[in-house]
Structure 1
Amino acid sequence: MRHLALLTLFSLSLNAAVLDPEELRVAQVETDLPELLTPLAPISDGAIDHHRSAADEQQHTQAMTLSGSRLWRHAVARVQSGDLDDRPLYWNRLLVRREMKQQAAGYQPADWQQQVSIDAFERASRGMSDIRFNKGTDLKILVTGFDPFFLDRHLNQSNPSGLAALALDGQVLHLNGRSAQVEAAMIPVRFEDFDQGLIESLLTPYLEGNKVDMVVTVSMGRSDFDLERFPGLNRSAKAPGNRNIFTGATKEAPLAPRLMDSPLAGPEFVEFSLPVSAMQRAKGPWKINDNHQVATLEKGEFEATGLDELSGQTSVSGSGGGYLSNEISYRSIRLGNLLEAKVPTGHIHTPRIAQYEADTEAAIVAQIRAMLTQAIGSL
């Protein structure tokens, strides 16, 4: 698994010379929603200046890594000081990426060198280079959130899971005399990054040797909170990722994801290991469901009681669905099983929001915080 950390240095973008659909949307944001760029504009402007001024390839990559980390830290600081909005980080990251590709003056690396710098900036701006459990707590909890998605429907869409990641990063939770530090990272809504091993690369250092005490992946979901009991292997959602790439998978013809050059190998279903009963004690406006709903080609949709019942079935939808929410959960649990980790791992689906709802998202984040706090008693 360790080789994935090096291979996925190149996994976070496809072509350094061509703007992708995510980057192309920035122009519309500049025109229609400039307020989404303004809060972090000084940081993204500084990153673009660093891109222009670096003297050589090594300095360029180092400068862009530092710029990405600075963008992440400022986004975290803004959210934790009360500006509850995940969208400025998303759009400023894309603005810098666009400018890195378009700038011809000054530093002019070859395409592969440009790619290295773009990927280094991208990973750092997602908090992936900033995971440091250094506060001397009893426990360590790693949390991931997702970017906004379906942006061609609503350009101003927010994602409460991403907001939760920013709000919780570096926070220390307390319960009954025990403490837990939370570190967070932001995941792209892009099938190709998953196929190129991003999740395995990110999580291996923490699951290998049980270096954290819990891994919780979070995404936006349904009407309440769902703890997704049985993630499935296959993709079946027709929806595209943020680069408008479709997998071709359907509920009638589900498809396995890939890991580098091969189909992802694993059981059709896995089971999560989050401390459900403890997390369900968290107070808040929404129910917290232990969701057993799955779908298979052979039996359709049903409530699974255990992995034995799912043996011999072909996964269509896991408890988390057939999109990347289900997949991050499946990949993280599969990876932990391969590494023989003893780390409770699983997925939280948050209540869904329409575009941007500041008060609702604040309540969602508060209930996630409460769920993680309650989990301390079972870790």
Structure 2
Amino acid sequence: MRLLTTLLTLCTSLPLSALPLDVEEQRVADVAQQLPQLLTPLATSLDAGVVQHRSSRNEASLSQAAADSGQRLWRQAVTLVQSGHMDDRPLYWSRLQLRRDIKQQAPAFRASDAQTQAAIDGFERSSRGFGDIHFDDDAEVKILVTGFDPFFLDRHLNQSNPSGLAALALDGRTLTLNGRKAQIQTAMIPVRFEDFDQGMIESLLTPYLRHPHVDMVATVSMGRDDFDLERFPGRNRSAAAPGNRNVLTGATKEAPLPPRLLDQPLNGPEFVEFSLPVSAMQKADGPWAINDNRHIATLEKGQWQPDSLAQLDGQTSVSGSGGGYLSNEISYRAVLLANQLGSPTRVGHIHTPRIAKYDRETETAIVRQIEAMLTQAIAAL
């Protein structure tokens, strides 16, 4: 693959060991054998557009080449989806294939393991659209949307995630309501606890919650039967499910655990309340109901539906409205950060209807209803 060659041509051979593959990267071999069509759409289109970096062979050039390659991968994935190929999976698997190939050919790098890992990390962030969030100065309304990678891949290797598809389909789009225009920018989030613990969400969102702020941040993930707007995110983790690297947190419903921010437990109240314009968003047309979901669980009272945040004083969170997994956690972190920064930005989480494996027709309808919800939100922003 020419994209890999782009990185390898920066370096010459030294007797270095290849970096070990993580669990996500190891699954690429199964995809190559069972679902090779998920690796070809982006690989083919990238081959024609790769720029060779030959002039410099230092760490900075390697990192820049990796970041540039990741951004090209992201832009190709957005273009592919917005041209009608409604599938989020090629981006996910192509990213992992490139990570795997870079690691396996690490002995060809004149770089230490730390330098190679830094380049891979830069590639990872840019291939998720983190460096591609640019709002026009004259945008009347600015909305930042995040989606998630596919997950539970040991259950269904061909699993898709409609939230990730929505992120690709909506990136850079302009929505209009009553003559007002909203610009959408998006990013893709990994299903990995360690990235959250290392502060990925705070690092991504802080520039857009500070002045000049965006008008709305909508984090999106795959959820239940209908659309749920998750009113009361909870602090603690309680889901026994692993992330995409099969890492377990040790948290359970009986013994929930707080997430971490770098080397410390994440400090914050047990529950926060979102600020999405619920009434406006519920006006969106589509096949599914749009629920203002208040279901939560606490150690003291079990499962219940509070009417206000004040009713949750003195309670210990087991699960927020978004559950006890990363869907709940991204909304908690986003709302908490906005509160800490004193940001007027409307912040909250959208759970989409769930799908099994890949369902183009259903996922396309989900994306259309998300677009309709964001369009209706313009009236309240």
Q: How has the CA–CA distance of structure 1 residues 22 and 39 changed in structure 2, closer, same or farther, with 3 Å as cutoff?
A: same
Whether the 8 Å contact between 1:37 and 1:92 is mirrored in structure 2 is: yes
Q: Secondary structure at the match of 1:129?
A: helix
Alpha-carbon distance in 2 for matches of 1:368, 1:152: 28
Q: Once structures 1 and 2 are overlaid, which stretch shifts more, 35-44 or 63-72? A: 35-44
Question: What is the aligned partner in structure 1 of residue 245 from structure 2?
Answer: 243
SS in 1 for 2:188: strand
CA gap of 1:102–1:54, structure 2 versus 1, over 3 A, is farther
Native 8 Å contact 1:44 1:96 kept in 2: no
Instruction: Report the Cα distance in structure 2 between the residues aligned to 1:77 and 1:48, rounded to whole angstroms.
Output: 16
The percentage of counterpart residues that share the same residue type is 68
Structure 2, gaps ≥5 residues long: 1-16
Tell me the distance in 1 between the aligned counterparts of 2:236 and 2:286.
33
Q: Are residues 1:324 and 2:302 paired?
A: no
Preserved CA contact (<8 Å) 2:69 2:123: yes
Among 107, 124, 140, the alignment partner of 2:126 is 124
Structure 1 stretch displaced more, 284-293 or 131-140: 131-140
**Residue 281 of structure 1 is aligned with which of 280, 283, 286?**
283
Partners of 2:75 and 2:137 lie apart in 1 by: 17
In the other structure, the counterpart of 1:57 is 59
In 2: Cα distance, 1:106 partner to 1:356 partner: 37
SS at match of 1:227: strand
Matched residue, 1:152 = 154
Whole-Å Cα distance in 1 between the matches of residues 64 and 374 of structure 2?
35
Does the 8 Å CA contact 1:47/1:96 hold for their aligned counterparts?
A: no
Q: What SS class does the counterpart of residue 248 from structure 2 fall into?
A: coil
Aligned residues of 1:52 and 1:107 also touching (Cα < 8 A)? no
Could you say if the C-alpha distance between residues 53 and 188 of structure 1 is closer, same or farther in structure 2, counting changes exceeding 3 Å? farther
**What's 1:76 paired with?**
78
Count matched residues: 365
Match runs of 1:1-379 below 5 Å: 17-42=19-44, 55-104=57-106, 106-134=108-136, 136-379=138-381
Deviation at 1:106, TM superposition (A): 3.8
For 1:90-147, what per-residue CA distance to the aligned partner results, in whole angstroms no more than 9, with x for missing partners? 0000000001111145433101111110011000000001000027321100000000
- 1:333 maps to amino acid: V
Structure 1 residue identity aligned to 2:138: G
For residue 182 of structure 2, give the secondary structure of its aligned residue in structure 1.
strand
Contact kept? 1:50, 1:60, Cα under 8 Å: no
- TM-score, normalised to structure 1, is 0.93
Report the alpha carbon displacement of residue 291 of structure 1 after superposing the two structures with TM. Answer: 0.1
Paired residues of 2:18 and 2:107 also in contact (CA < 8 A): no
Query: CA separation of 1:377/1:240 partners in 2, compared to 1, >3 Å: closer, same or farther?
Result: same
Q: TM-score, normalised by structure 2?
A: 0.93
Q: Which moved more, 1:38-47 or 1:258-267?
A: 38-47
Structure 1 unmatched runs, 5+: 1-14
Give the Cα–Cα distance (whole angstroms) in 1 for the partners of residues 83 and 148 of structure 2.
21
Q: Cα offset for 1:288?
A: 0.1
